[in-house]
Amino acid sequence: MANKVQNPETDIMVETKGKLELFFDNYGNKVLKALVGITLVAVAIFVVVGIMNNSAEKKENAAQAALTVALTTEAEVEAYVAIANDYAGTKAANTAVYMAGAEYLEAGDLENAKAYLAKYENAEGAAGEIINALVYTLRGDIAVEENDLQSAAELFTKALEASDDMYTAEAATRKVALVYAAMGDAQKASEAYKALVAKYPELTISYAKYIAE
């Protein structure tokens, strides 16, 4: 009868299997409980995040609804202040902050206008970029009212950089050009108009007299 040839790999596998069986015999219940515990924690986290996301979505929807009502009914500034406070952290509340600042500025309340516009956080997307530009423009207007022309020029320039919207760019250009003119820098004023028509050739006729050499 032939002698049985020992296979080192088979021996290792048998030994390893034995150790695993022994381990699970001794600690199987504990391992199972640990896995169950980890699973429950993961599920709990998933549920909590889901609830938070759902809650945040509901808050955003409610804020958007309130903002829509305020915008379509030409609400007083207090309505925008309420939205900004009641729905803080939402995109709609951020827009309400801008609206409150704009309303205060229109009413001549520079202190509150400045305070609310300072709370605004730059938004993303095409619509958000337009509002970003408008906020910089309003802050520039406040700087003009405070006779801080250098800051006004910087803020109007930021408005130009914030969005590719032609209408906000045109408004900001007119303002920054007037500021430069008031500062006695006619060249920079002309350069501002030249930059505007270079980007938006359709406006060339409207500003031809300002860019003439």
Note the pLDDT tens digit of each residue in 102-143: 999 999 999 999 999 999 999 999 999 999 999 999 999 999
In the chain, % of residues over pLDDT 90: 60
Asked if 81 and 100 touch (Cβ cutoff 8 Å), the reply is yes
Residue range(s) occupied by CATH 1.25.40.10 in the chain: 122-213
Does this model's pTM top 0.75? no
Homologous superfamily assigned to 122-213: Tetratricopeptide repeat domain (1.25.40.10)
Report which of 127, 132, 130 is spatially closest to residue 117, judged by C-alpha positions: 132
Q: How far is CA 152 from the centre of its chain?
A: 23
In angstroms, the CA 63 to CA 60 distance is 5
Q: Which residues of the chain have pLDDT under 70?
A: 1-53, 213
